Chains A and B, each alone.
Chain A
Amino acid sequence: MTRAYLDHAATTPMSSAALEAMTAELARTGNPSSLHTAGRAARRTVEESREALASAVGARPSEVLFTGGGTEADNLAVKGIFWGRRTGHPERRRILVSAVEHHAVLDPAFWMAEHSGAEIVLLPVDGDGRVDLRVLREELAANAAQTALVSVMWANNEVGTVQPVREIVQLAHQHGVPVHSDAVQALGQLPVDFAASGLDAMTVTAHKLGGPVGTGALVARKDLPMTPVLHGGGQERGVRSGTLDVAGIRAFAVAATEAVSSLPERAVRLAALRDRLVWGVLERVPDAVLRGPADLALPPDDGAGSPARLPANAHLTFPGCEGDSLLYLLDSAGVEVSTGSACQAGVPRPSHVLLAMGVPEVEARGALRFSLGATSTDADVDLVLEVLPGVVDRARAAGLVSLGVGGAR
């Protein structure tokens, strides 16, 4: 069967260069913390990779802290910065996070509220999923002295909304409050420059841009107070202990360098493909609703502009359908997509992102996220457009049954 993989925001294939770098490195021995020749060789690979990654994200090498992925980096940011900022300042108990953050930020924040005295302020978003800057401004004006940090993602993983990170940083810094941003979906999709953004900390991960799963980094300014979460051998400035994963780190650096250098060209190609997908779906299923910013066009390539949504993201809701029915029917027709968010058991729930955007729960249930990547082709979009109308009809019939309409009884 012809298959179309359109779930690159979940994970995307490793690039051949990254795969080659990783397997070559896996064949070598050497703990970067060891002092002998093998150890020094491993250390050199790690440091060269650190420099390459720093250069790809507009940071200094010393600002890159390697982690075991995006979730760990988000946990380190939320917990580490909160604890670090509270040292000597017990009044700083507020954490400001957007209502549409990934669970890797939301859950540590709420965990801190339960276990470490934090107070969580959820920043509301507008109908497109963009953070309401007015609320942030008011929150900071009223409670800056009690605020430990602000965390707002660079771009949303479900609906692709790009957040006004620079404006958020400006507002927070007027009050001396540091800002963290989860840029897992942004890196490789949008121009990301840590220094220019003004951010204090930023999460990135390898497997969304052609690197391996299980390697990520927290990019953090050196003057940012941060308490370690993982304790042990004192690696990574003592903030993140654990033997460094040389192979994963090198593959990450190779993939990131590649993804960033090919970004302008790839973004244009994928945005065009995505637009064809969106318009094609709306033509064939007229009552489908595009979620997130409707402004699909990329800004002129002047190097500074950022689009309103991720170029490779399309997110639609289909009235009367259940997302899990759509997913099953598309999968059996060869199309692999996501309902947007999945929990551990693989249970689709109405997405907190859509609910925060004001989408009614019944509409949020029929959500599908299509995310494109480097390997996406016209044929993938053709297959979606071919099978989707029939799939939606069938899912709608099943959806009516689930809602008890027309069900026998």
Chain B
Amino acid sequence: MRVLAAMSGGVDSAVAAALAVEAGHEVVGVHMALSRTRDQFRTGSRGCCSIEDAGDARRAADVIGIPYYVWDLSERFEETVVADFLAEYEAGRTPNPCVRCNEHIKFEALLDRATALGFDAVATGHYARVVERDGRRELHRSPNTEKDQSYVLAVMGPERLERAIFPLGGYASKAEVRAEAERRGLSVSAKPDSYDICFVADGDTRGFLRDRLGSRPGEIVDTEGAVLGAHDGAYAFTVGQRKGLRIDRPADDGRPRYVLDVQPAQNRVVVGPAELLTVDTITGSDAVWFAGADTSGTWFDAEVQVRAHGAPVAARVRAAAPDDDVAASGVEVHLPDERLRGVAPGQSVVVYEGTRVVGQATVSGASRSGSASRTAVAAR
């Protein structure tokens, strides 16, 4: 196959490109330039967008012996990932920019362009497994539970999975991948992992939001509406957040307070005790289902995960029928056993059956049975 290897400049994508070559594919390396400014998003060594990273990717391509190009996807990145990031925070939700990047950049802009240019597939350094069963491709968790990235990949959906390759899918540990890099003489073998959001230069998300969205002072209130404090912008708060509330007065019972809701229309942040954070019902929108998923609208048993590094919990799930009152292409999730805390709208809810990804949606609301305290979130 003709394979385009997306090369960030990190060790994972470099080894993935090398493995694609060794699997007999004709491979071309492409680094995506995602920043429009000349000095790039980040000057340190931990990002995926700096000039050093482009240079590291180039060197890795040299060592592997494949052609290498830089493609400018900065405009698309700004229009989709960064703009969505700001709009979502502004709307009181908590976006996951890595999910949006996989959705709009890697497995849309890059993959579609690669296909049009004659490539059969795009290879990335993600930790996830593709399993062929009955002529269909299934997306599975990586055996490396710590690094598993199936959560952020699920958004690509079944058609795009047909044209994706994850050569690191079988690797059980990062140490193994680093050893593979070293064995091949790839100088990125010891490069530190990236963790933060690549376009937030210093990891200061709040500062980034303040710079881009401006200061918008408002109130912090309790569930009864009593004013407890002030904030510079409701967008800087996330459901489940405890730190940084800056409320002088302790709660009457002395227990810590958490953000329960962010209400952009009123520019208000609602705080309260931890137990009000726990939910057993989650609704999602923009659902994507993989082959074999039950999309008839009937309830089925599965597990769901609502955070990139969260643990899966048992759930009853149903896809919304087109005429359902749940938003079209939505999903409804009930948690019969274990409740979840701090489920923030805007995050992904990914549905698994064992290691297999069944589908995913964007969290639109979360609530507790017998409580109306957060239905406002769901209705928004």
Contact = CB atoms under 8 A, between A and B. Distances in A.
Interface stretch (A71-79, A164-172, A213-221, A328-336): A328-336
Contacts of A345: 31, 33, 40, 51, 54-55, 70
A394 B109 contact: no
B315 to A, nearest CB: 28
A344 B50 CA distance: 11
Interface string A378-409: 00000000000000001101101110000111
A398 B54 contact: no
A349 B76 CA distance: 14
A347 B33 contact: yes
B58 to A, nearest CB: 8
B72 to A, nearest CB: 5
A88 interface: no
Contact of B112 (A328, A332, A408): A408
A325 interface: yes
B67 interface: yes
Interface in B105-121: 108-109, 112-113, 115-118
A402 B70 contact: no
Nearest to B53: A345
B66 to A, nearest CB: 12
A394 B70 contact: no
Nearest to B115: A401
A398 B51 contact: no
A343 interface: yes
Give the interface residue-count category, chain B.
Answer: 20 to 34
A328 B116 CA distance: 13
B62 to A, nearest CB: 13
B40 A328 contact: no
A278 interface: no
Interface string B58-72: 100000000101111
Interface string A291-326: 000000000000000000000000000000010110
B380 interface: no
Interface of B: 28, 31, 33, 38, 40, 51, 54-55, 58, 67, 69-72, 76, 108-109, 112-113, 115-118, 159
Interface of A: 322, 324-325, 327-329, 331-332, 343-349, 394-395, 397-398, 400-402, 407-409
Given A345-B55, A398-B112, 12 more contacts: A325-B113, A331-B69, A346-B54, A346-B58, A347-B54, A347-B70, A394-B117, A397-B116, A398-B113, A398-B117, A402-B109, A407-B112
